[in-house]
Amino acid sequence: MGNLNEGDKAPVFKGKDQHGKTVSLTDFKGKRVVLYFYPKDNTPGCTAQACNLRDNYSDLLKKGYVVVGVSTDSEQSHQKFIEKYELPFTLLADEDKAIVNQYGVYGEKQMMGKTYDGIHRTTFLIDEKGVIAHIIKKPDTKNHTEEILELWK
């Protein structure tokens, strides 16, 4: 998994959001980006993480952060997830796994004794210059905003 490190230039991603609009890292030039990768819409851990970010979204905005979530789910799945939980941020549909592979977060996982390929829950905090300031591996889904704010004061 992952060959990116803190201090590296963040790979310039490009993907479709929940409305089919193309979104790129370059759209956020001059802003701090919370780029979080999660395994699947509407699963317990992913929902807890998204709702924690939603519940603390105003705190993130006050600090000048832009939040972008990425999974391999479809645009339609993202639309339903956003509507169901009233998520105020962009989710990118990376069905071809281009972004997850760019960031090195897709690979072998194990659960209940089974091995499979999937997204390793990871968050990249990208500064205004497009440099990876922090990488949070295995974020605490229920307290993710607090982790971000603690790292990025």
Closest residue by Cα to residue 7 from 121, 102, 134: 134
Closest residue by Cα to residue 39 from 77, 85, 11: 77
Active site residues: 46
DSSP E strands in 1-94: the ranges are 14-17, 22-24, 32-37, 65-71, 90-93
Q: Give the position of tokens 């998520």.
A: 87
- Give the residues across from 32 on adjacent strands: 65
- Give the residues across from 69 on adjacent strands: 36, 91
